[in-house]
Structure 1
């Protein structure tokens, strides 16, 4: 797949929305042109924060018209995978830091067996991507964290862009997603490195005009790709 064939997917992170009005917030970003809804699941163990479980994901799914991109920042992703798929996850991503080389293959198989359309793995900013090489053909998506997981609103870590480029050099042809500090000021560099899906929380939900912000981010991502291709 060439860069021109790759999608540009904007995935607003619901962690930054107004949870008291979550149905309205979902509708607002859908109307603004969002491709996916990014749902962060945290267990207070793998990361020092607690967010939502399958019942809330199910409620979001009932309100949504676009796919749910569910990011499991939890210590037991395989144990809970089926519950989140039943709740409506379209993409289900777990962390390499939880499974490591010994457990990743089995985790991919177990999550794939739930029937979820897409299986992803995530790496933290200080985790190299080279150990993922044996699993590249069995993954649909790799999520590169550009902040340390657990809380929204952190500053983008530009050094992670080398990992995106490395994944493409290693031959990964699936989707690469970037999460953390993605905004109009950073999205072009992410796209130029080879990123397809862009998770943005405060940059979108903190904007006065979410449609205009997402349109501008999509334009900047396309320009970033074109610049890299020259």
Structure 2
């Protein structure tokens, strides 16, 4: 059984107080902190252009080393931006002590990540985007749960992450489909009691794992 992991998205935090926001989320029970890196290529946010969950091939290779040095535990890249160099990228991520993951946008077929999972040096996490990358606060796309179900059936021990529109009203759909890593931004940072929301998200994953 894969461990539930709750990752507040720093895209929804107070950018002027990132350190204190990160510490607050960890005190509230977060397992990971999810940070998005903007490149203006796979996704773009005009108002918050320094953050998003993607980078393209040249930027990816430049970004990995400083993030590893800064203490990042994982590095997830978009499959759409790395079709020509993903093997080199996975090797580089691991060499910097980070866990490699791959993300895919809503319109990308799930089959595009299979080669990265079945390689002799595979990625260890798949992030299924449940919104288009680039903007916080978007509406959750329930049809993306078919991808999660397919992945969970094919790879029972895989970390499967979902990102976009996750909160108390949508977590059960994601958890029952088989997601165990939950990225949540505005639903956590905008809550009067973030710890309560994080606990609720974790409990939904745990309860779904008991019944599936």
Q: TM-score, normalised by structure 2?
A: 0.89
**Does 2:37 correspond to 1:41?**
yes
1:154 is paired with a residue whose SS is coil
Instruction: Compute the displacement of 1:126 (Å).
Output: 0.8
Shift of 1:172: 5.7
Runs of 5+ unmatched residues, structure 2: none
The alpha carbon displacement at 1:10 in A equals 0.7
Distance 1:22 1:79 in 2: 23
The one-character-per-residue Cα deviations of 1:28-48 (angstroms, maximum 9, x if unpaired) are 211111111111111223322
Please provide the CA RMSD for this pair: 1.7
Residue in 1 that maps onto 2:93: 111
Aligned to 2:12, which of 11, 16, 20? 16
Distance 1:144 1:204 in 2: 19
1:51 aligned partner: 50
1:150-197 CA distance string (max 9 Å, x none): 010000011111111111233363211100001011111111111111
- Give the structure 1 partner of residue 179 of structure 2: 195
SS of corresponding position for 1:121: strand
Query: Hey, which bits of structure 1, 4+ residues long, moved more than 4 A?
Result: none
Q: Would the aligned equivalents of 1:204 and 1:214 in 2 still touch at CA under 8 Å? A: yes
Distance 1:214 1:172 in 2: 24
Cα distance in 2 for residues equivalent to 1:175 and 1:221: 12
Alpha-carbon separation, structure 1, partners of 2:195 and 2:6: 11
Aligned to 1:55: none
Work out which of the residue numbers 73, 89, 95 in structure 2 matches 1:90.
73
Structure holding more strand per residue: 1
Relative to the length of structure 1, the TM-score reads 0.83
Question: 1:124: how far off?
Answer: 0.4
Q: How many residues align?
A: 204
* Pair 147,34 (structure 1): closer, same or farther in 2 beyond 3 Å: same
Structure 1, unpaired ranges of 5+: 53-70
CA distance in 1, matches of 2:113, 2:77: 13
207-216 or 71-80, which deviates more: 71-80
**Contact conserved, 2:152 with 2:158, CA < 8 A, in 1?**
no
1:77 alignment counterpart: 60
Distance in 1 of aligned mates of 2:156 and 2:78: 18
User: Would you say the 8 A contact 1:188–1:223 is kept in 2?
Assistant: no
Query: How far off is 1:225 after superposition?
Result: 3.0
Q: Confirm whether residue 166 of structure 1 aligns to residue 147 of structure 2.
A: no
